A and B are shown apart, each in its own frame.
Chain A
Amino acid sequence: GAVVSQHPSWVICKSGTSVKIECRSLDFQATTMFWYRQFPKQSLMLMATSNEGSKATYEQGVEKDKFLINHASLTLSTLTVTSAHPEDSSFYICSVQGSFRYNEQFFGPGTRLTVL
C-alpha cells in the first residue's frame, strides 16, 4: 500500500495561534486526500475532501475559514487550523486515495494537536 506521512506528529500551541499540518504521500500519486478528526473515545469524523488543484469540499458543520486546506500537488496536502482554541485539540488524520485503486485509502500516522 501507499506510504503516507504527517508532520508534525504532535504539536502544542497557545490559544489564538495557527497550526499547519502536512500530509505527504511518499510513493503514490494521490488525486484525492481526506482529512479526519478524532476526539477521545469517538470515531473518526471526516472534515473535508480535497482534490488536487481544486477547492476542498467541507463536511457540514466544519468551518472552511477556520480549517484551511491546500492540495497543491499529487503528493502534498496541508491543513491549517487558524486561531486555534482548546476545543480544537484533537487527533487529525489524513488519508490518500488514488485514481486507479479507488476502493482503497491509506492513512497517515496522525497529528495530535493540543491547544493550551
Chain B
Amino acid sequence: RKEVEQDPGPFNVPEGATVAFNCTYSNSASQSFFWYRQDCRKEPKLLMSVYSSGNEDGRFTAQLNRASQYISLLIRDSKLSDSATYLCVVRPGGSGNTGKLIFGQGTTLQVKP
C-alpha cells in the first residue's frame, strides 16, 4: 500500500464548478499535512497547509480527518488557471524524520471554458 494515495484523475470540469479531491495516508503518526500544486514540468508549490480544524484560503478549503486518515481539498468557482496537478503531501512523525515529505501521485485537474 502506498503511504499517500490519491485518485490520479484527470478531473475535467467547466469553469465555475466546484471540485473536491481526496487523499488517504497510511501512517497514523503523521504530523503535518499539505496540498501542493504542480504545473506541467515545474516544481511543486505550496498551496496550503491542512489543519485538524479545517482551513480556508479564498476559494480553497482543506479538511483533515485524523481518525479516518483522510485529507480533502475543495475548490470552489474553478478558474482556468486552476488547471494543474494537486499533490497531497504528508510529513511523517517519529524520531529521525528530519522534515522529509511524502508525496501522493497527484490528482490532475483540467478546467474547461
CB < 8 Å neighbour of A43 from B32, B49, B106: B106
Q: Residue of A at shortest CB range from B104? A: A43
Task: Enumerate chain A residues within 8 angstroms of B8, measured Cβ to Cβ.
Answer: 41
Known contacts A49-B98, A49-B100, A103-B32: does B41 contact A112 (CB below 8 Å)? Answer: yes
Sorting the interface of chain A by its residue count into under 10, 10 to 19, 20 to 34 or 35 or more gives 20 to 34
Instruction: Decide yes or no whether B60 CB sits under 8 A from chain A.
Output: no
A-B contact count (CB 8 A): 49
Residues of chain B from 25 to 72 with CB closer than 8 A to chain A in the complex: 32, 41-46, 49
Contact bitstring A23-45, B, C-beta under 8 A = 1, else 0: 00000000010101000011111
**How many B residues, CB 8 Å from partner?**
21
Q: How far is the CB of B45 from chain A (nearest CB, A)?
A: 7
Instruction: Decide yes or no whether B11 CB sits under 8 A from chain A.
Output: no
Known contacts A43-B87, A43-B106, A103-B32: does B101 contact A109 (CB below 8 Å)? Answer: no
Instruction: Decide yes or no whether A51 CB sits under 8 A from chain B.
Output: yes
Expressed in whole angstroms, the Cα–Cα distance for A43 and B104 within the complex equals 6
Chain A binding site: helix, strand, loop or mixed by DSSP?
Answer: strand
Expressed in whole angstroms, the Cα–Cα distance for A110 and B98 within the complex equals 22
Task: Enumerate chain B residues within 8 angstroms of A112, measured Cβ to Cβ.
Answer: 41
Task: Enumerate chain A residues within 8 angstroms of B32, measured Cβ to Cβ.
Answer: 103
Task: Enumerate chain A residues within 8 angstroms of B44, measured Cβ to Cβ.
Answer: 44, 93, 107
Residues of chain B from 95 to 113 with CB closer than 8 A to chain A in the complex: 98-106
- A residues contacting B by CB (< 8 A) are 32, 34, 36, 41-46, 49, 51, 57, 91, 93, 95, 97, 102-105, 107-110, 112
